[in-house]
Amino acid sequence: MLYKGKDVRRLSQPLLNQAARRYFSGQAPRLLARGGRRRGRSGEGRRSELRFIGFPAGSRGATRLRMRLSHVLSERLRLRFGPVCTMLRTSFLRLLGRTGASKLSLLEDFGPRYYGSGSLSARDDASDARAYFTTPIFYVNAAPHIGHLYSALLADALCRHRRLRSPSTAATRFSTGTDEHGLKIQQAAATAGLAPTELCDRISEQFQQLFQEAGISCTDFIRTTEARHRVAVQQFWGVLKSRGLLYKGLYEGWYCASDECFLPEAKVTWQPGPSGDSLPVSLESGHPVSWTKEENYIFRLSQFREPLQRWLRGNPQAITPEPFHHVVLQWLDEELPDLSVSRRSSHLHWGIPVPGDDSQTIYVWLDALVNYLTVIGYPNAEFKFWWPATSHIIGKDILKFHAIYWPAFLLGAGMSPPQRIYVHSHWTVCGQKMSKSLGNVVDPRTCLNRYTVDGFRYFLLRQGVPNWDCDYYDEKVVKLLNSELADALGGLLNRCTAKRINPSETYPAFCTNCFPSEPGLVGPSVRAQAEDYALVSAVATLPKRVADHYDNFQIYKALEAVSSCVRQTNGFVQRHAPWKLNWDSPVDAPWLSTVLHVALECLRVFGTLLQPVTPSLADKLLSRLGVSVSERSLGKLYFLPRFYGHPCPFEGRRLGPETGVLFPKLDQSRTWVVKAHRT
Ligand code: MSP
């Protein structure tokens, strides 16, 4: 069997991976079939193997093979197809290892080319029919800002995409909440002259309102001051204690109340304070630190250095994007000291008492991290349904707590570490860190009002890059939304649905004579050009590309890919200028109808794929196209079926009612930096 003219048994690993990837994305059949025709020369290519690769549509063999492929990694497959299969299987395993979320797509049962989402992944199967997404729980010392909203939006988009992928089979849970204990909150309440509970209620309410307004589709909202959480934390503590992982000892060192963490000497520096004296601050955050010396309970963290290294080395996808995974492994190269996990209650009273020892309060990070278990029912056994099918979405500043402390606590308690940790960077404002003291905090509710919920969701997710910090300013929002949502996407919808161009207000028919499925054919009725085939191919592969970007936590790249296809579709419409074609002309009409059909099909794909990011806008778009709610999942997204010789359920269907512009253009002259909204 040949791939790119080479015997697949002798392919280099990168080429083999490419073959496997292409095979799964549906691009390979023709390439490999070509190899098959030359099988005499290669000395390979038994018919069964050719079919395995070539996927002749509709053949019994193909159906059988497709079924078998749903067990890609099965031994039977290996036995049946011999060495070539073993190599591909190895390659798939490597791909799985490399991509982690590993969404390898299988072709749908409709023909040799990939044109729907139909994405099936090794992890979407039975054992993975559940997915539990979490945001960090937010401190209630101050009102929410756009950075907090961004954390929640990333989780929301991942979760919505997941639901879209497997709406009927998968059980999805999505939790968020507020982190209400600890010195930071105790001090903030004292400064505000409020009882801690009053401050917690007030700010927690603000987070809940914000998330509701922003369409965060959480299934759970937890507050660490709830009774169920206290039970979970104390139980968890008891398990660590019974396993001999907690001991009492003297802790002496620096503590940063703002970051709620202990710091080694090397992480502290001295800076001039307001009155000119030199004050100790955290090197990383710049927040003040104070010297602490007291008897505490200490967790044997040092015992977990090697288990953590093994976990991370064995799960290269555990922390995404990769640079963060690497950073954690680097941290683990150094010594891991034991960790103080309680404070004297006389110093910290606002927290959960150590069971059996009221003189100590449990360290707020241990308290906070256990929220992920409380939500799913811990300590009742029901939590095992969800754990560890967990994806934590966190900001880079809290990586150490989630990637070292938390997995160590879990391992210590006899549980598995979370499946995945997705890490994002921060938003700055005009190049500066957002902070209450600098007065540059951007209020997310003002932004949602100004730019609409969908507009602002789109902006944050389209511009936010997990690997790097991003700078916020209003002009950027206006430019992006006007160009991508109002002009490109809204304009496209308008062009293809306006009454003057589509007087029957129906989903027009596709004419295969005008747009044959084989490029390069010539004939009197053929109108499609090479670029049009490129468009079809780009949109056909879009759902898979988008899914891969979601798996790699690069949502901005998913949106970039959609946006690029929107541009390409506008180019298609511009090229064929349907407004110059005449419905009454028997020559023009089938082509005019085809142009509109293709453009609407593209729009249907865009609308479907945008649902996780801009749910209302996507709903408006899909409703206008007449796509019913049950036709909006990725599993049902069969792009342009007529092109592939299959019936199209939309053809001839009435479009939905016209409900105004898709996204109203923003006034460019009214740009200013949104100032803090103080509580
Ligand atoms: N309470 C802890 C988390 C405990 S989770 C068991 C905490 N809270 S936080 O309110 O300070 O931060 C919550 C999330 O918001 C974190 O993921 C943090 O990275 C994120 N962000 C805070 N400021 C941010 C920006 N400026 N930009 C983007 N995200 C930011 O840490």
Task: State pLDDT tens for residues 511-529.
Answer: 999 999 988 888 889 999 9
Whether 584 shows a pLDDT value over 60: the answer reads yes
Ligand 1: which atom is nearest the Cα of residue 148? 15
CA–centroid distance, residue 138 to ligand 1 (Å) = 6
Report the range of poorest mean pLDDT among 16-25, 200-209, 423-432, 582-591: 16-25
Q: Is 191 exposed, middle or buried (0-12, 13-18, 19+ CB in 10 A)?
A: exposed
Q: How much distance in Å is there from the Cα of 149 to the middle of ligand 1?
A: 9
Q: Which atom of ligand 1 is least distant from the CA of 139?
A: 10
Q: Tell me if 185 CB under 6 Å of ligand 1.
A: no
State yes or no: pLDDT of 33 exceeds 70.
no
Cβ partners under 8 Å of residue 677, min gap 6: 143, 441, 443, 445, 446
Q: What is the mean pLDDT of the chain?
A: 83
User: Is ligand 1 within 6 A of the CB of residue 368?
Assistant: yes
3-class SS of residue 399: helix
Residue 662: CB atoms within 10 Å: 23
Asked if 185 contacts 220 with a C-beta cutoff of 8 angstroms, the reply is: no
Average pLDDT over residues 253-281: 87
Name 263's Cβ contacts closer than 8 Å, sequence gap at least 6: 253, 254, 255, 256, 282, 289
Closest ligand 1 atom number to CA of residue 368: 6
Residue partners of 365: CB distance under 8 A and separation at least 6 = 260, 261, 401, 405
Q: 92: pLDDT confidence band, cut at 50, 70 and 90?
A: very low
pLDDT at 284: 84
- Cis peptide bond upstream of 590, omega within 30: no
* 428 CA: nearest ligand 1 atom: 26
Phi, psi of 249 (to 5 degrees): -160, 170
Q: What contacts 586, CB < 8 A, 6 or more positions away?
A: none
What residue owns the CA closest to ligand 1's atom 8? 138
Task: Provide the CB-side half-sphere exposure for 50 (13 A, CA).
Answer: 16
Using CA atoms, how far apart are residues 526 and 505, in angstroms rounded to an integer?
25
For 376-386, what is the mean pLDDT? 96
Rounded to whole angstroms, the Cα distance separating 353 from 344 reads 10
- pLDDT the model gives residue 19: 54
What is the pLDDT confidence band of residue 170, given thresholds at 50, 70 and 90? low
For ligand 1, is residue 395 a contact (CB within 6 Å)?
Answer: yes
CA dihedral 513, 518, 523, 528 (to 10 degrees): 70
Token match 């053949």: residue? 59
User: Is residue 490 within 6 Å of ligand 1 at its C-beta?
Assistant: no
Ligand 1 touching residue 423 (CB < 6 A):
no
State the average pLDDT over residues 463-476.
94
Residue 461 token pair: 């997710």
Cis peptide before 321 (omega within 30 of 0): yes
Cβ pair 44, 9 in contact under 8 A = yes
Best CA proximity match to 370, nearest among 243, 239, 236: 236
- Sort strands 130-139 and 171-179 into parallel, antiparallel or unpaired: parallel
Protein residue closest via CA to atom 13 of ligand 1? 138
- Report how far residue 652's alpha carbon sits from residue 509's, in angstroms, rounded to the nearest whole number: 6
pLDDT in tens, 211-227: 999 999 999 999 999 99
Q: Is the pLDDT of residue 47 over 60?
A: no
Spatial separation of the C-alpha atoms in residues 224 and 75, rounded to whole Å: 47
Please answer whether residues 298 and 340 qualify as being in contact, where contact means their C-beta atoms are separated by less than 8 angstroms. Answer: yes
C-alpha span between 324 and 312 (Å, rounded): 11
* 406 Cα nearest atom in ligand 1: 6
Whether 357 contacts 237, CB under 8 Å = no
Q: Rounded distance, CA 77 to CA 85, Å?
A: 7
Residue type, 663: F
Task: For residue 566, give the nearest of 638, 506, 645, 496 by alpha carbon.
Answer: 496
84 CA → ligand 1 middle, Å = 49
Look at residue 61 and tell me whether its pLDDT is greater than 60.
no
Predicted confidence at residue 5, as pLDDT, reads 65
- Hey, which of 134, 135, 145, 151 would you mutate to test ligand 1's pocket, going by the most ligand atoms within 8 Å of its Cβ? 151
